[in-house]
């Protein structure tokens, strides 16, 4: 049986615990991040290693009413899309090679 998705409260609590911040600080950060994403989406907004929010203009096209089979004209419109990054796809699906951590330089003891 599949587990349930994390709720907003659970996400905030997990991030607060992991980063040793208050829940209020994490909630404010997430709200500010969302507001920035909404504002900048028309230019493309990238969340590193997660994906990109983009505004796309769809062309007018001809469609078909599935109930009646009647041909209808669908007008042009703007839509918001989210493109998942390759890094996120590989991490979620378990494919590809994960990014290796940068090698540490050896230090000499004197």
Q: Are residues 18 and 55 in the same domain?
A: no
CA distance linking residue 3 with residue 15, whole number of Å: 19
Does 71 or 98 have the greater pLDDT score?
71
pLDDT tier, 73 (very low <50, low <70, confident <90, very high otherwise)? very high
Instruction: Assess if residue 106 is contained within a domain.
Output: no
Position 30 in a domain: yes
Here the CATH number for the domain that contains residue 65 is 4.10.520.10
Q: Please, are residues 84 and 50 in contact by the beta-carbon 8 Å criterion?
A: yes
In this structure, is residue 33 part of a structural domain?
yes
More confident site: 108 or 95: 95
- Structure confidence by residue, pLDDT tens digits, 18-72: 999 999 999 999 999 999 999 998 899 999 999 999 999 999 999 999 999 999 9
Residue 90 near residue 96 (C-beta atoms within 8 A): yes
Strands 77-84 and 61-64: unpaired
Please report the pLDDT score of residue 110 as a whole number. Answer: 47
Q: For position 86, what pLDDT does the model report?
A: 94
32: helix, strand or coil: helix
Is residue 108 pLDDT above 70, yes or no? no
Q: How many domains does the chain have?
A: 2
Q: Which residues contact 73 (CB under 8 A, 6 or more apart)?
A: 60, 61, 62, 63
Are 50 and 86 part of one and the same domain? yes
Range of the domain at 73: 44-94
Residue 104 lies in a domain: no
Residue 105 clears pLDDT 60, i.e. is over it: no
Tell me whether residue 101 is in a domain: no
Q: Which two tokens stand for residue 64?
A: 């078909």
Q: How confident is the model at residue 3 (pLDDT cuts 50, 70, 90)?
A: confident
Is the CA virtual torsion 59, 60, 63, 65 positive or negative?
positive
Q: What is the Cα–Cα distance from 90 to 96, expressed in whole angstroms? A: 6
Q: Is 36 among the domain residues?
A: yes
* 62 lies in some domain: yes
Is residue 49 domain-shared with residue 78, that is, in the same domain? yes
Quick one: pLDDT at residue 107? 54
Q: Does a structural domain hold residue 90?
A: yes
**Which residues on neighbouring strands pair with residue 72, listed in sequence order?**
63
């Amino acid at each position: 049986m599949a587990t349930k998705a994390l709720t907003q409260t659970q996400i905030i609590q997990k991030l607060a615990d992991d980063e040793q911040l208050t829940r209020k600080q994490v909630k404010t950060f997430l709200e500010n991040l969302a507001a920035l994403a909404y504002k900048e989406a028309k230019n493309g907004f990238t969340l590193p290693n997660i994906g990109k929010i983009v505004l796309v203009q769809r062309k007018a096209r001809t469609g078909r009413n599935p109930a009646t089979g009647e041909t209808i004209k669908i007008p042009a419109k703007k839509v918001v899309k989210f493109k998942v990054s390759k890094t996120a796809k590989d991490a979620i699906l378990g494919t590809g090679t994960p990014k290796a951590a940068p090698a540490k330089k050896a230090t000499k003891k004197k």
